[in-house]
Each structure stands twice: as C-alpha cells, then as structure tokens.
Structure 1
Amino acid sequence: MPSRRTHVTESVAQSELAVALARLRAELDVPESFAPEVLAEAEQAAVADPGTDLRELAFLTIDPPGSTDLDQALHLERRSTGFVVHYAIADVPGWVVPGGAVDREARRRGQTLYAADGRVPLHPVVLSEDRASLLPGADRSAFVWTFGLDERGAVTSTALTRALVRSREQLTYDEAQARIEAGDGDSSLALLREVGLLRIELERARGGASLNSPDEEIVRTEGGGYSLERRHPLPVEEWNAQLSLMTGMAAAQLMLDARVGVLRTMPKPSEEHVTAFRAQTRALGRPWPETISYGEYLRGLDRDDPASLAVMQAASGLFRGAGYLAVDGEVPPDPIQSALAAPYAHVTAPLRRLVDRWGLVVCLALCAGRDVPEWARSSLGELPSLMGASSQRASRLDAESIARVEAALLSTRVGERFTVTVLEVRGERAVLQLADPAVTATCPAPAGIRAGTELEVELLAADIATGTIEFRAAGAA
C-alpha cells in the first residue's frame, strides 16, 4: 500500500532532535533499564507445564517487520457448518509471579512504550522477546482460545485453556497479504480473509466502527536519523485485528456473565456531538446519510480525498473517553465500548499491556469453573488507575515525539510556502495537513476558511526542542 516517508538527514537537525527526544523522556519520567532484582527474577523464571499439547496445530504469527514480542498466533480451520478459530496468546501469567519484582515493575510501567529513540518494554526482554514470545519453531506455553463460528462468522462456542503450542512461521503484513492474494488454498491465511470479512460484516450490522485509519509512525533510518511515515494499513491488518476484537468481546461477555473482570469501555457520543458531526460532513460535501451507520459511512470514504481526510479528523473527536472498568459483583449500567458497539476487554497483548494478564487469568478460571485467583480478584480495582496513568504517558510520548520529529523535518525550510489541506477549524485556529513532509500543524484561521479546502501557508518557525511549528496563511500580515 502507498506510504509517504520523509527523512531527517541534516546532521545538526539529527543532533538537536536526539537531545530533544532524550529531554522528553526525562520530562515524562519514561522508565529506563530494569533494576537488577527485576532482571534476576526474569532470568530465573520458569513456567509450569500447561498439560495440554496443541503443537500439532500449525499456528502462525502476523506482525510488523522486525517484531520479536509476539503476543498472538492463529490457526483457522473450515468445518461443515462454519469455522474453528484457535487463537494462542502468550502465557505471560505463567512467567510472572504475582507480587514479585517483575510484577511490581510491570504495574509501574503499565504498557510497552514506543518512543522515537527506542522501545521501552513492559517486561524484561528475556521474557517479552524470548521465553514468553510466540517465536516460530519454539515450543511455548500459551492461553489458547478456541471459537466455533457459524457460516456468518458469528461465535457459537468459546473455550479457553493453557496449552503447549509451536508457531510454524512468522509473517509480516506484506508477506501475509501477498500470500493471500496469490491464493493460499484452504490454509489459515486464506480463511483469515474469509473470516475477517464475515466479522467486518457483523460489525457493520451491529453499528460498530473499528477502522484502520492511516498511521503516522516515527521510523529509525540506517544512518541513525529519523523518518516520519504515514501509511494506509493493508486489508490483512484489519482481518487480523478482527480476531483480536472477537476474542476481546468474548472475554468481556464471560466477565459480564460472571460479574467479575475488567472491561475496556467507551461512552457513546452525545446527540449534540453526533448532530455537529453530521453538519460537518455536509459542509465538507461528504454528507453522512441518516440511512447508514457511522461505521459504514466512514468505511466508504476515499482515504486519498482531502475532504475525506477532514471528515476523519472530525470523526476522531466523536468517540472519546475510553477507559477501564473493574467489575466485581455488579454488572455496570453501561459496559459497552461504543466504537465497537459491544462489550469488550483487553486480553490479547499481555507482553505489551498490563491489564491483559488479569483478563486472561480471570477468563481461564471462568472457563474452567474455578474461582478467580485471589491475587487477581483483589487487585482488579487498581487496574483502571494504573492503565489510565500509563495510557496518558504513552499518548503524550507519542504525540510530543511526533511533534519534535515534524519540527526537525521542517527546520531547514523556514520561509518556504506549502499548499496544505485544512482538516478542521477550531475557533481562531485551522488544523493543517501537509502532504510532503506528512506533517499536521495549525495556523491562525483566515476569515471564511472551511475544512476540506486547500490553503497556501508560509512556515515561520520550527523549534525542534519543543516541537513547536508556526505557520501563517500566505500573504497574511
């Protein structure tokens, strides 16, 4: 799929950017190395024999290039009445001792952080990128979800067990997409496309809107510099994501039925916000018809159309307030993750996200008809605040890192003019999207300017240290 990448090549800009990113880490108190006692415990950790052996299943993983922290592996089969999906999740609970040094440090970190100048893992790499990771050719203990699906892709049965698995191959998204397009028979990859499309249709029918919007990523270059890449996710990425969403929804239903666990929630947008968004789509010439759902409308947009980009920018503000909700004894009044239009829980990324470890342990106990372990149940109430603080730090690190890279990309172009797309007008400021480099910025909004239109602007300043970029409309005083 098309992508656009622009590099920071000037040595002075690279040097300033490295200093700015290091300062940002310090400001946000981003963890550095693990303490000796954490590393020692991780080195000495052992996992119990899961008892069940599922190594005969040809699991495979699909991840970005170079990934070594592999949380999920999949295996799909066709059955006469539908499909069977086996979804293996890294057995992090088997490696981490509750209350131990690794556990305490993971609670402090909350999640793996993806900084411009390096990844900050949730767990020591001996676990996250080696012993607990579902690497190809290696025997691994895993939490294996088994789903029966009917011919429409709807879940008819759910089971969860710990088992020994062995992934056969590790594919990148590009490799998986190419194999699917070339025709891969009735393999897991071929069925992934079929099941993924069925699950997307079910999502559309219930009014959900999990979208693979264009990604903006900071990438390290071979020369030690940085680049900024905006890319459109491949279809296989959405099909793959549908398995994770299906698992999270099944986990949430188990928790709700038993009235214990931790949910990922998001409130519904208010009628006022929905009405305002509909007005924005009409103003942009891309009206949202009353007869189709929000998700279906957004799926039909042309991602390369400037007006559609402005619509998606406006849509990003419609669903806000995502968080975690601990459940213990009472069903919450509104357990829905509104963008998915279903209850949902995080259980598929325990190597990279703290809360998933609890979700897996809770669901395993529920499926086995056992009590939830005391350590997990007694600490459920801590998770929303731990994950909230971690998510806030991750969001700031991501946004402010991108801002500093964007400033570095533009630091040698002060005084130049650019033709940009106006994504949104917020009071007296206009949100701008540059095409090359792929930078998002703001400037004072000229009178009468509307979202979805093009505007010529002049770059006045680009401060790498703070990530501040200043534009003004060309010709403005």
Structure 2
Amino acid sequence: MPRRPLRVTTADGVRLRSALDALRADLHVRRDFPAGVLAEAEEAARDPRLPGYDATDVPFFTVDPPGSLDLDQAMHLAVREGGRGYRVSYAIADAAAFVAPGGALDAEAHRRVQTLYFPDVRVPLHPTVLGEGAASLLAGQDRPAVLWRIDLDADGAVTDVDVRRALVRSRARLDYAGVQHAIDAGTAEDPVALLRTVGRLREAQERARGGISLNVPEQEVVELDGGYALRYRAPLPADAWNAQISLLTGMVAAGVMLRSGTGILRTLPLAPHGEVARLRRVAAALRIDWPHMTSYAELVRTLDPERTTHAAFLHEATSLFRGADYTPFWPGHPAEPAVHAAVAEAYTHCTAPLRRLVDRYAAEFCLAAVAGQEPPEWVEAAFRDLPGAMRGGSHFAGTIESASLDLVEAALLKDRVGEVFDAYVIDVKDSDPTAGTVHLRDPAVVARVRGGTAPLPLGEPLAVRLTQADPGRHTVLFTPA
C-alpha cells in the first residue's frame, strides 16, 4: 500500500552518496551476493523450468518507471467476445521457475526477503542475471510466467478467474508518462487504451466497496542551479489505473486462497478512532474542508496532489495504513479478520515475485488450488517461518525509507542552517503544544519544530528557522522564527 516514496532523478553528489553508503554500512545492508548464489543464479538463467502452455501469441505489454529492468508484470486487456465486458490477462514473472527450493539462491532470498530501495541504488532480492535478466518480463523475450485471466462484466466486476503457468512474450516496454500521453492524445492502441477504461471501472468498484487509494506525491531530488533540491511529483492517472490491475489480481488471488482453505493474506486493521480524529485536525490545519458526514475514503478522492496543502495531508494520511500484517492459514480459514482495511476486501501480495519473497509462495497456493491439488512440499516446509520473515523485512524496508528520507533532507539542508522558511503547522503534540510538525512550502520537506515559548498555531502559516540539519544523525529540526 502507499508509503512515503522517495527517489533520485539525477546524480546526487559525492557528499550525499557517501552519507548513503555510511547508512547502508550502519544498517548492515549487503549489496553483493555470495559466489555460490551467483553461480546458482547463472545456471538457473541458462536452464529455467519452462511451462507446457504457450501464450506467446498474446501481445502483452509492461508499464513501469523509465529505465526499470526488474519487470514483474505484463498485461493484455481486451473486450470480451460480444462486447460483454473485459478480459484482463496478467502475466506475473515465475520466480519459482528459477529458484530451486532449499538451494543457495532460495536461502539468500529468505535472508533478504524483499528488494530494498535507497535514493541512489536498489538492493535486489535476486541477482541481476535473474531479476533484471532471465526472469524479468523484458520485451521481445519468451519468459515463464504465472498467467492470470480475469473476466469482468461491463461494470468491472469479476465474473470468472483462471490461473496457470504459461510461456509469455511481452511486445512493448512502456512507462507511465508515455502511456498517459498516448491515451490522452488518442493514439494508444486498444490494449493500452483499455487501461483507462478498465482502470476507471475498477476505481468505481473500489469506491463502491469503500476502498482507499492514496495519490501520494513522490519526493524527488533534482538538480537546480548547480545544486540540488527536493520537490514533489504527483502521480499520473495512468499510475493509478495500472495499480488497479495489480489490486484486482491480489483480490482474486486472496479469494482463491480463502476458497481453498490454504494461503497467506496481506491484512490491515481499521485505523483507531483517535488516528482519524488526528487527521481531521490536520485537515483543519491545512484549510481542507472535511464535512462531518464525508468519509475519509471520499475525502481523499477530492484532493489534488499538485496543491501543497493537499500533498501535505496525503503524506499524513498514510498513518492510517499502520499495522499491516501477513496472516497465514493452513488448512481452514484465518483466525483473524481477513480483510485489508484500505482495499476493503481480502487481499494478498502476489504480483511482485522478483522483488518480494511472499509473492512466490502466493502463486503456488493459487496454482495448486485452481488445479485441485495440494501445494508443493517446499511451500509447506517454509510456510511456518514466512509470515515472520515478511514482517521483519517490511519493518526493515520502512526503517531504510525513513532513514533515507531524513538523511537526504538533512544533507540538502546542511548548508542552510540559520535560514528562515515559510511553512504550515500541520500537527501539534498534545503533551507539548510548543512542539509539532511543519510542512515547508519550499523545499518539499516535512519536519519537526520545537523550541518556541508559545503554543504552535495549528493550521496557520509560520516562519521557521532551521536550527539543525545533520546528515550523520539523519536529523532536521526547526524552531519558530
């Protein structure tokens, strides 16, 4: 689900790279792979397990950020025969075709759990020869995949589901901006043009069930006048339409698991009432109109991430997504509620096996269930430890994201200590009304403020002075000016 994204769009300078290298060392993040793992990956790349079903006649395409090579998903969208709805064909990279259970590659994947993202580099789950090579759904290459075929009616509701292993071939590697431009200009071919149609139908289905998708702006580090700056980038509609296809697959996969009585879900509890009340305070602080009878899900759909105050609220709104967990069940049904509160439906992670360990297992549960078989023995053998490993991996990834963001903000503000900035007060601590959080107009920074003698004016503009920006300690601190 949405988090607070951060990425670097240009070279970020020696000082910032050195600080990020030090952060990786402090967190004991190992970028390279052991020799045995690399050797096994090379062998697997040469001789993967290929499926018998051939779907290479389907003209799949991928949609990812520019330059991405670890392509987990490829899709094809079509109007069903007779115009009775739509067919979503969604091919997911088959990591199990390359990773032998119990081998060195498998053990390393269980140690890493998921791909880690720093502003300057990514630390992958699998060696590059697989994750960006033989297992990736690169255009023009035959690849083993787990192929979902999901039929929708004219309103976008699911009518039929099938999943099987298949050999697929992507025809085009597209990016979000290119897809958006082609759709807006009316030049996109039908399989791509249908992304808007199906995406909007699924968004309507999401609204009807009370689901929430946050349009959280990305923070970018960009080159500016010989230096570097932080700014926000608002997601495009194509980002959201693409995400709806992934959400759709995660929901139908969860349904397959629940019907079979075996699987692992991604769950999220309802946000505590106090957290929603805090967000109402933030909305008031930012002069965002939140009528009493309007739900949180309805409110966020009205916000424009291009507006500074709305972007600030959307970042704060991610706090409602705390407490996500992995809930296993084997056999029977989950002992805990099986719904993901933000999705407003049962949901599982299954669409990113090149970047997340649990997705490889989710595929096996679904393939076995549809075939009327028991999951493979290797799935059962590792199943007991999988939820704990994923919890730990998710927490570690969150730690890296938070530390990286703090470090980048501190590094880019290091030479501006003593300067005064325009900001909004978006939160005030109940225990100390002289301390809270401010959202700067420029640069795109959200940080702590304290040290004044008067209560902070919640919702009011406030001039703040930068008193601390320490990349070594990953801290940024302001005081009222």
TM (normalized to structure 1)? 0.92
Query: What is the correspondence of 1:236-247 to structure 2 with a 5 Å cutoff?
Result: 236-247=238-249
Answer with 309-318 or 277-286: which moved more.
277-286
Match of 1:22 in 2: 21
1:1-28 deviations in Å (ceiling 9; x for gaps) = xxx9999999xxx444333222211221
From 440, 443, 455, give the equivalent of 2:446.
Answer: 440
Match of 1:340 in 2: 343
Amino acid at match of 2:51: P
- Distance, in Å, in 2 between the alignment partners of 1:389 and 1:246 is 26
Query: What is the correspondence of 1:40-439 to structure 2 with a 5 Å cutoff?
Result: 40-45=39-44, 46-79=47-80, 80-184=83-187, 187-217=190-220, 228-278=230-280, 280-282=282-284, 284-332=286-334, 333-427=336-430, 428=432, 429-439=435-445
Question: What SS is found at the alignment partner of 1:419?
Answer: strand
Amino acid at match of 1:316: T
- Distance, in Å, in 1 between the alignment partners of 2:10 and 2:57 is 48
Q: 1:310 to 1:66 in 2, by over 3 A?
A: closer
Question: What SS is found at the alignment partner of 1:97?
Answer: coil
Q: 1:350 to 1:217 in 2, by over 3 A?
A: farther
- Distance, in Å, in 2 between the alignment partners of 1:98 and 1:72 is 23
- Distance, in Å, in 1 between the alignment partners of 2:363 and 2:395 is 24
Answer with 384-393 or 426-435: which moved more.
426-435
Give the RMSD, CA atoms, in angstroms.
Answer: 2.6
Q: Shift in Å at residue 431 of structure 1? A: 1.2
Q: 1:234 to 1:202 in 2, by over 3 A?
A: same
- Distance, in Å, in 2 between the alignment partners of 1:470 and 1:274 is 26
Q: Shift in Å at residue 349 of structure 1? A: 0.3
Amino acid at match of 1:172: D
- Residue pair 2:53, 2:165 contacting (<8 A) in 1 also: yes
Question: What SS is found at the alignment partner of 1:423?
Answer: strand
Identical aligned residues as a percent: 47
- Distance, in Å, in 1 between the alignment partners of 2:404 and 2:280 is 33
- Distance, in Å, in 1 between the alignment partners of 2:128 and 2:309 is 44
Q: Shift in Å at residue 436 of structure 1? A: 2.6
Match of 2:3 in 1: none
Q: Shift in Å at residue 396 of structure 1? A: 1.3
Q: 1:275 to 1:439 in 2, by over 3 A?
A: closer
Q: Does 1:459 align with 2:462?
A: no
Q: 1:278 to 1:437 in 2, by over 3 A?
A: closer
TM (normalized to structure 2)? 0.91
- Distance, in Å, in 2 between the alignment partners of 1:24 and 1:254 is 41
Q: Shift in Å at residue 464 of structure 1? A: 1.8
1:308-346 deviations in Å (ceiling 9; x for gaps) = 345334422223101111111232230111011111000
- Distance, in Å, in 2 between the alignment partners of 1:371 and 1:205 is 35
Q: Shift in Å at residue 287 of structure 1? A: 4.2
- Distance, in Å, in 2 between the alignment partners of 1:28 and 1:102 is 22
- Distance, in Å, in 1 between the alignment partners of 2:251 and 2:324 is 16
Aligned residue pair count = 468
Structure 2 unmatched ranges of 5 or more: 1-5
- Distance, in Å, in 1 between the alignment partners of 2:388 and 2:227 is 36
Runs of 4+ aligned structure 1 residues displaced above 6 Å come to 4-10
Q: 1:208 to 1:8 in 2, by over 3 A?
A: closer
Answer with 358-367 or 458-467: which moved more.
458-467
- Distance, in Å, in 1 between the alignment partners of 2:62 and 2:55 is 16
- Residue pair 2:216, 2:311 contacting (<8 A) in 1 also: no
Q: 1:390 to 1:217 in 2, by over 3 A?
A: farther
Question: What SS is found at the alignment partner of 1:317?
Answer: helix
- Residue pair 1:20, 1:464 contacting (<8 A) in 2 also: yes
- Residue pair 1:31, 1:109 contacting (<8 A) in 2 also: no
Question: What SS is found at the alignment partner of 2:68?
Answer: coil
1:295-318 deviations in Å (ceiling 9; x for gaps) = 221110233445434533442222
